[in-house]
Amino acid sequence: MNIFDTIHTNYEHHFVKSNPLFLESMFGSKDLMPLWIADMDFKIAEPITNELQRLVDRGVYAYEFNPDSVFKTISDWNFKRHQLKLETKAFIQVSGVLTGIALLIRELTKENDNILIQTPVYHQFHKAIETANRKIISNPLKVVEGKYEMDFEDLEQKLQSENIKLIILCNPHNPVGRVWNRKELQKLISLANTYNVTIVSDEIHADIIYSKTAFTSIASFNNESHITILGSPAKTFGMQSISNGYLYIPNKDVFNKIKSTVSSMYLDHGNAFSTFATIAAYTKGEAWVNELLVYLENSINWILEFLQKEIPEITFFVPEGTYQIWLDFGNFNLSEEALKELIFSEAQLALTPGTWFSKDHSQFMRMNIATPLSNIQEAFYRLRRALDEKSL
Ligand SMILES: Cc1ncc(COP(=O)(O)O)c(C=O)c1O
């Protein structure tokens, strides 16, 4: 039996994912299988637990900042996993990736400036832009021969006409699961350079990459444009509630500007649990991540086969990365409300509605597959039964 099969799915109520109040307010019922928010049901790698245990046993929680040793382990990890060379002096620690995005929006643009995102995309990008009183310009992704691609023609047209100040890139892309390749990123960077627009690349899902794909960071392009990368061990190691986020800013002027704000607001004071858990994860967690990826890919293959055989009407965009899957229910011709009723009330699944990521995606649902395969199988059996009951 695989270690990821044995994880409990007896969800505790204080977890956001299974909190009955959240479930009821968002999906209309408390009794749903929670497969929405992007965290994992798996127990974290043992070396991380051991390190946390060591801190508890030590019983002393004096001030303890150690960002340089964290930056070195992130750098070593990225070189090993992605052949990516990162300079430790270009890192800035923040409390999370979203904090970093919110900060960069405020530091790199002014109120009412236009910021471009590639929809459908992680809903918090929308919120971070709007709550900072900036405007969203959407460069919708397009589907070409069953695969999501960037629409460069639309992008160039928007860069020409909309006075865009910032592009927020999601790589790997949540929710569509694309891992942008070198050619695509090169094209994006050269357009951004032509129109003098900064790119902020959110690479939090960078380590969840499946076997047929390689990850390319925007930091590998080695140019001096204002490119910033945001990462964190959160998604890779299932450390959402104990990890920090990291900015990587090769451009010295931009680095100094952001560093001074972060430092003046004391946003870079990590805590010891996060620091040592991160170091343990990146130095001793690799075997666990390798096993995780094999496990997730096996689940993806099961889903693909099941859908082809049992529910071919659902279009499944097989992910190159991330543990989210993006499902298109458009072939059933249901209204937005009828689809929600089918998924939430009849199949009793808490999936994330496509409209969170773009208002045009009311026929889509995102499912989190970082849960035991038996759980995923149960979810799809429930879906098949709910469809049968509706004769769909
Ligand atoms: C693309 C992306 N960025 C950021 C986050 C959240 O990052 P953090 O919890 O570090 O703020 C998520 C979580 O789902 C995500 O998918």
E strands along 244-368, which residues? 245-248, 315-317, 324-328, 349-350, 352-353, 364-368
Ligand 1 in reach of 229 Cβ (< 6 A): no
User: Considering just the CA atoms, what is the radius of gyration of the chain in Å?
Assistant: 21
Which helix (H) or strand (E) segment holds residue 255: the answer is: helix 252-264
pLDDT at site 224: 63
pLDDT at site 270: 78
Ligand 1 in reach of 93 Cβ (< 6 A): no
Burial class (CB in 10 A: 0-12, 13-18, 19+), 382: middle
Tens digit of pLDDT for each residue in 248-303? 999 999 999 999 999 999 998 878 999 999 999 999 999 999 999 999 999 999 99
Ligand 1 in reach of 38 Cβ (< 6 A): yes
Strand partners, 315: 328
| Fold entry, domain 49-284 | Aspartate Aminotransferase; domain 2 (3.40.640)
Ligand 1 in reach of 234 Cβ (< 6 A): yes
Ligand 1 in reach of 102 Cβ (< 6 A): no
CB contact burial 364-380 (16+ within 10 A = b; e otherwise): bbbbbbbbbbebbeebb
> Could you give the CA distance from residue 262 to residue 271 in angstroms, rounded to a whole number?
16
Q: CATH 3.40.640.10 residue ranges in the chain?
A: 49-284
Ligand 1 in reach of 232 Cβ (< 6 A): yes
Give the closest residue (by CA) to ligand 1 atom 13: 38
* Of 121, 174, 200, 274, best ligand 1 pocket probe by most atoms within 8 Å of the beta carbon: 174
Closest ligand 1 atom to 245 CA? 10
Ligand 1 in reach of 98 Cβ (< 6 A): yes
Query: pLDDT 10s per residue in the chain (392 long)?
Result: 788 997 777 778 888 999 999 999 999 999 999 999 999 999 999 999 999 999 999 999 998 888 889 999 999 999 999 999 999 999 999 999 999 999 999 999 999 999 999 999 999 999 999 999 999 999 999 999 999 999 999 999 999 999 999 999 999 999 999 999 999 999 999 999 999 999 999 999 999 999 999 999 999 997 667 788 999 999 999 999 998 899 999 999 999 999 999 999 999 887 899 999 999 999 999 999 999 999 999 999 999 999 999 999 999 999 999 999 999 999 999 999 999 999 999 999 999 999 999 999 999 999 999 999 999 999 999 999 999 999 98
CATH superfamily of 3-44+287-389: Aspartate Aminotransferase, domain 1 (3.90.1150.10)
> Could you give the CA distance from residue 233 to residue 341 in angstroms, rounded to a whole number?
35
334 alpha carbon – ligand 1 mean position (Å): 30
Q: CATH 3.90.1150.10 residue ranges in the chain?
A: 3-44+287-389
333: left (phi over 0), alpha (psi -120 to 50) or beta: left
Ligand 1 in reach of 289 Cβ (< 6 A): no
End-to-end distance of the chain based on CA atoms, in angstroms?
36
Any idea which residue has 């020409």 for tokens? 160
Closest ligand 1 atom to 37 CA? 14
